[in-house]
Amino acid sequence: MAKKPTTSARTPDFGKAGRLTIRTNATGATINTSAGEFMHCELRVVGTQALFSFACRHRHLRSGTDFQPGHAFVWDHLNHAGDLDAPSDAYSLVLSFLQAIKYTFVMEHRNGAGAVLKRLKDIDYESTSSEDVFRDSLIIFTV
């Protein structure tokens, strides 16, 4: 009798079909806002529409509706008056895969001249399930 081939289904990294490709994933950073340092964020999307929210624990900061329609979203944070809510804050990025199949998120710690001091996040989030949602977070301390 022939042996049946075994199939090994890989468990998703998140949700029903989510996959992560992590190149850099800091859980925290200290940013010297008094020296002009800030966070630079870029989110690229593959799909028909980006459905995302970027927020701190105090308020919503950015979402796909804050930008012109497209597949690349770029913003800076902690370099404008009113950006800082607290000397330590939790920032979260929430991604929906209802109309997107892949997001690439890059967050950099930059100096006042815009030069990269450190890459904090560089992650691909992918899913073929429209029910999947992913939440990523980071604690930022400011001085």
- Residue-wise pLDDT for 111-131, tens only, equals 999 999 999 999 999 999 999
Which CATH fold topology does 19-142 show? Answer: Immunoglobulin-like (2.60.40)
Model's pTM, two decimal places?
Answer: 0.91
Q: What is the pLDDT of residues 10-35, one digit of tens each?
A: 899 999 999 999 999 999 999 999 99
DSSP per position, the chain: -PPPPP--PPPPSBTTTBEEEEEEE-SEEEE-GGGT-EEEEEEEEEES--EEEEEESS-EEEEGGGS-SSSEEEEEESSSTT----SEEEEEEEEE-SSEEEEEEEEEEE-TTS-EEEEEEEEEEE-S-TT-EEEEEEEEEE-
